[in-house]
Chain A
Amino acid sequence: MFANLPYLTVVVLTVIGLSIILLKRNMVKVTMGLNILTSAVNLLIIVLGYREGGIAPIYTLAPQTYMVLPTPQALCLTSIVIGVATTALLLSFTMVIYRKYGTVNVAEMRELKE
């Protein structure tokens, strides 16, 4: 039961993220939804590399060689950095649009259509 808890969290986060980006009309909230989705995938990657009882994968003076996998953590770190850049760019776009259009509602940002 508890072994599957992280996977359950991933599913819950994914559903929350998807419902936010589909149901909310506020661009800031859509950005948050995308962030939650990214976190869900990051958590999934970390959980995949976790070994119960393993230590941090640092070989210098390691008390044991049973360690968690280092690669998923490196992947996750990269993905977090990309996520920061993504969020910053999305929010700055939202900011400029708010200045020009006076709204953050996605249903009103539709100068371009058809």
Chain B
Amino acid sequence: MALTLSTGSGFWNPVVWLIAIAVVVVVVYLVWRRGEAGYTAGSAQVKPFISGNAEPAKKVAQMPASNLYWGFTEALSGYYSRVVPAHTGIVTDYLLWVLWVTAALFLLVVIT
């Protein structure tokens, strides 16, 4: 069985990757083995330890989706402020885009 994917100028072998994953799993297991032996579920040990402060409510600790990548969209705001409003949601604009692109292709393919 040829497990190597040949891509013309390179190759890729999933088996090597799987062996690497297996090694990582073994290391993880060894580290886990060295953990605290006296762990009991359901006791105070399970509680999160935040430097002695009380645990905040679950709702507060949860980070909602729209806060992630705020920095990314803010940094690219010049791009986003143009592209996002282009998605107007008006159906005739959609048609206009289709015709516009077809016209551009017409210039490109037919005239040249």
User: A residues engaging B (CB < 8 A)?
Assistant: 18, 21-22, 24-25, 27, 30, 106-107, 109-114
Q: Once the chains bind, are B88 and A22 in contact (CB under 8 Å)?
A: no
Given contact pairs A21-B92, A106-B90, A107-B90, A114 touches B85 in the complex (Cβ within 8 A): yes
Q: How far is the CB of B32 from the nearest CB of chain A, in Å?
A: 45
Shortest CB–CB separation between residue A11 and chain B, in angstroms? 16
Judge whether B89 is part of the interface by a CB distance below 8 angstroms.
yes
In the docked arrangement, what's the CA distance between A106 and B92, Å? 7
Q: B84 to A25, Cβ gap below 8 A?
A: no
Q: Do A110 and B95 touch across chains, with their CB atoms under 8 A apart?
A: no
Cβ 8 A contact of B89, one of A18, A24, A113 = A113
Q: Does B91 contact A (CB under 8 A)?
A: yes
Contact partners of B88 in chain A: CB under 8 A: 110, 113
The CA-CA distance from A114 to B85 in the complex, in Å, is: 6
Secondary structure dominating the interface of B: helix
B76-97, CB < 8 A from A: 84-85, 87-92, 95-96
Q: A110-B89, A112-B89, A114-B85 are in contact. List 15 more A-B contacts (CB 8 A).
A: A22-B92, A22-B96, A22-B99, A24-B92, A27-B91, A30-B92, A106-B91, A107-B90, A109-B89, A110-B88, A110-B90, A111-B89, A113-B87, A114-B84, A114-B89
* Nearest A residue to B89, CB-CB: A113
On whether A114 and B91 interact (CB within 8 A), knowing A18-B99, A22-B99, the answer reads: no
Looking at the assembled complex, report how far the CB atom of A100 sits from the nearest CB atom of chain B, in whole angstroms: 16
Chain B residues with CB below 8 A from A27, complex form: 91
A107 vs B88: C-alpha distance in the bound complex, in angstroms?
9
Q: Which residues does chain B contribute within 8 Å of A111, judged by CB atoms?
A: 89
